[in-house]
Structure 1
Amino acid sequence: MSSSFAEAPTQAGALPAVVSIAPITLPSPGRGVDLHVRVSAPIAGDSLPVILFSHGNGQSLHAYGPLVEYWAAHGFVVIQPTHLDSRMLGLAPDDPRRPNFWRFREQDLAAILDRLDHIEGEASMIRGRLDRSRIAVAGHSWGGQTASTLLGATHPDPESGSVINRTDNRVKAGVLLAVPGSGNDLTEHAARTFPFLYPDFSTMTAPSLIVAGDQDQGGLTMRGPDWWRDAYDLSPSPKALFTVFGGEHALGGIPGYEARETTDERPQRVAAIQRLSTAFLRSALYPCNPTFSETVAKLAADTAPEGSVETK
């Protein structure tokens, strides 16, 4: 099924208060630098579901405020790592870890899941407030690829050719924003730079919302904007796809307030993603919760749609 909808910009002043703490340090022998994470949570509430968020190339735990603050204000605890590719770390071009950035990224998310006790111990404002039976992952661009591996997507190890499978049953749902598509359609440069980027979405069984901009030309594919919907088209149900009208790679400005890489700034676009992603996660993590279907149905008749929704 499919439907279209529009959203008005979110008024920041109307959101409930949230609190964040950063950095929380996870000692990480063999990584070269300890893993730093940021935790954001609503001031009130208990039994809070958790979102692990993986940033895009070069970003850090300080990015994606438009999404993170919105999710936290709506009852989620959001945990953001700084991956080794972050501009904050400034690793040298010849750093020997660079070919394995993809591996460290995936290990970062697993480390967070394994060390939730440590994170709770360092962040008193969430101690005893997490619902560990309701954990989701989300990510933008390279972060979407990273997050997809915990949802069941696999890919080859470029060194050995073996299949990397990091499916984690602790993760119940996901939101993948501008997630790269099939490796068969990579540009020659992208294939050399990202030799691991040959995903198999046929094993990605966890409920997931894929968000793709219909004007996202990117720089990775020869195919065009429809490449960014592969995670939906090539994966089994249950899945949802939000195709953002006019959306480029920053999807209206999700990487941050006034982020320099936003080429398609549009608050209405960001607001639509905020509300739809929140509704999807609510319904995916609480199976009897009708929020997602109600949100799509309510907004389907809008005359100025920000995008269209497909489900399977």
Structure 2
Amino acid sequence: MNAMRRAVRSMLLIGALVGVVMVGLVGHAGSYLFGFDVPDVAGAAEPPDQAIGHAAAGPHRVGVRRIGADEAPVAMTAWYPAVDTAAEEPAMRYSYSLTVLGPRATTALATYPGTARLGAEADLDGGPYPLVVLSAGFAITPDSYAWLAEHLASHGFVVVAPQHEETLNPSDLWRSAVDRPAAVAATRTYVKMAADPGGDLAGLVDPNTVGILGHSYGGYTALAAGGARVDPDAFTASCDRARGDDDPIVFLCDALEPRIDDVAAASTTPPAPVDAIVSLAGDAAMFGESGLAEVTAPLLVMGGTADRDSPFAWTSRLAFDSSSSPRKVEVALEGAEHFIFTGDCDRARRIVRLLRTGFCDDPGWDRERARAVVRHYVTAFLLAELTGAAKAEEALIAPEAPMGVGVRSSRAQGVGRRNQRRLAADL
């Protein structure tokens, strides 16, 4: 399956949830099944592998801010390094949610604890910090990725996630393909303005050192924001082959093909340059090989080889093989499925557990170990490209892959773009 089937499966889940509530009116089952419970753990979590050292939290405390649509072009959430006194405030608890009935009508599948403190004082001593724009999956809320955003903030990044204005509706996929890169551009414009002297983010963030990170349709967004160009002819040809092979990509084809020319027409303006791109199971088929060849920024792609929603061959593998970046890494989680990158499920809806939807379970991986692998590679990549950290670079040039992880690395000799600019300025 791909984005279309993801949406259909999610809609079936919501329908089931609503049905349970209806049943509850008669038999009180709804209040039980729709409530939260701690999911069962199939055995103890595997200990961290020695090869995933960047999975450990960084030296910074973490703060979080909510920036409303009345303050910025789009509503967004920011995670950032905070001062030690932030520990005096209560820690966040996040909701792993979908937007169902409208852009602001969310349905929580699960909740999980964080470490960030809301409104904590920013640690400006080490700033300004590189900017990472995080794009969530289709109709998934940014808080569903707080586990990763907090980790990056602890390592000295400011992570800003726009709230994409979309609803869980397959017919909205083409419109989201247009709106999402625009939302990323608007987010960057706002951050740049807020980073000016006297602004709310002054001294905290460096808006000129930028990484784009996204999962699923957010991975598409990251690639588009990094220069990938939609190629209608290549996409149509791929869809024709897919229909002949009964490939899962046909669901995305059915959703996008009727409007693919509109999507391409809306993406003719080149995006602002970026310094790093991270695509987690990111939809890439609409770009084709020629469209992905426009990507020259350093690139990290990660995906599960058992992903039936965004198949590995149409996402991570296609982007890695087709991009023109001389500095790129591909990480394959052997046997993992699509939602391995989403939120924790410390307390999940009982019906989510019963239906085995994949939102909170993965047959091939312990989710905590998978998140450790994701934290390691994403952090190492962004540290190497946005800060020039030598230890992080070593983890990418000659990676010692953990068990169950396949890594391909094409890292041309040199330094990250941030250091390239610094060296040029010194000449």
Instruction: Tell me the TM-score normalised to structure 2 length.
Output: 0.57
Q: Which moved more, 1:198-207 or 1:60-69?
A: 198-207
Structure-2 change in CA distance of 1:207 and 1:9 (3 Å): closer
Q: Match for residue 191 of structure 1?
A: none
Q: Match for residue 185 of structure 2?
A: 110
**Residue identity matched to 1:263:** D
Deviation of 1:73 after TM superposition, in Å, equals: 0.8
2:133 equivalent to 1:73: no
Take 1:230 and 1:152, find their aligned partners in 2: how far apart are those partners?
15
Take 1:125 and 1:74, find their aligned partners in 2: how far apart are those partners?
21
Deviation of 1:290 after TM superposition, in Å, equals: 2.0
Q: Which of 333, 339, 354 pairs up with 1:250?
A: 339
Deviation of 1:10 after TM superposition, in Å, equals: 5.3
Q: Match for residue 64 of structure 1?
A: 145
Q: Give the 5 Å matches for 1:1-312.
A: 6-7=51-52, 16-25=60-69, 35-43=74-82, 44=123, 45-86=126-167, 99-120=174-195, 126-156=201-231, 157-159=260-262, 162=265, 164-183=267-286, 200-218=291-309, 224-228=311-315, 229-236=317-324, 237-251=326-340, 254-258=341-345, 261-264=359-362, 265-287=366-388, 289-296=389-396, 300=400, 305-312=403-410
Take 1:71 and 1:86, find their aligned partners in 2: how far apart are those partners?
28
Take 2:215 and 2:269, find their aligned partners in 1: how far apart are those partners?
18
Q: Match for residue 21 of structure 2?
A: none
Take 1:210 and 1:94, find their aligned partners in 2: how far apart are those partners?
25
Deviation of 1:22 after TM superposition, in Å, equals: 0.8
Give the 3-state SS of the residue equivalent to 2:143 in structure 1.
Answer: coil
Deviation of 1:165 after TM superposition, in Å, equals: 4.0
Contact 1:9 1:268 in 2 (8 A): no
Instruction: Tell me the TM-score normalised to structure 1 length.
Output: 0.76
Deviations for 1:194-244, whole angstroms, at most 9, x for unmatched residues? xxx6572011111010111111121x5xxx533332110111122111111
Contact 2:74 2:162 in 1 (8 A): yes
Gaps of 5+ in 2: 1-48, 83-122, 232-259, 353-358, 411-427
Take 2:321 and 2:203, find their aligned partners in 1: how far apart are those partners?
39
Take 2:226 and 2:170, find their aligned partners in 1: how far apart are those partners?
32
Take 1:280 and 1:296, find their aligned partners in 2: how far apart are those partners?
7
Contact 2:226 2:273 in 1 (8 A): no
Contact 2:230 2:264 in 1 (8 A): no
Larger relative helix fraction? 2
Structure-2 change in CA distance of 1:79 and 1:138 (3 Å): same
**Residue identity matched to 2:392:** F
Give the 3-state SS of the residue equivalent to 1:67 in structure 2.
Answer: helix
Deviation of 1:99 after TM superposition, in Å, equals: 4.5
* Higher RCO by CA contacts (8 Å cutoff, separation 6 or greater): 1
Take 1:263 and 1:282, find their aligned partners in 2: how far apart are those partners?
30
Structure-2 change in CA distance of 1:181 and 1:108 (3 Å): closer
Identical positions, percent = 24
Take 2:336 and 2:263, find their aligned partners in 1: how far apart are those partners?
37
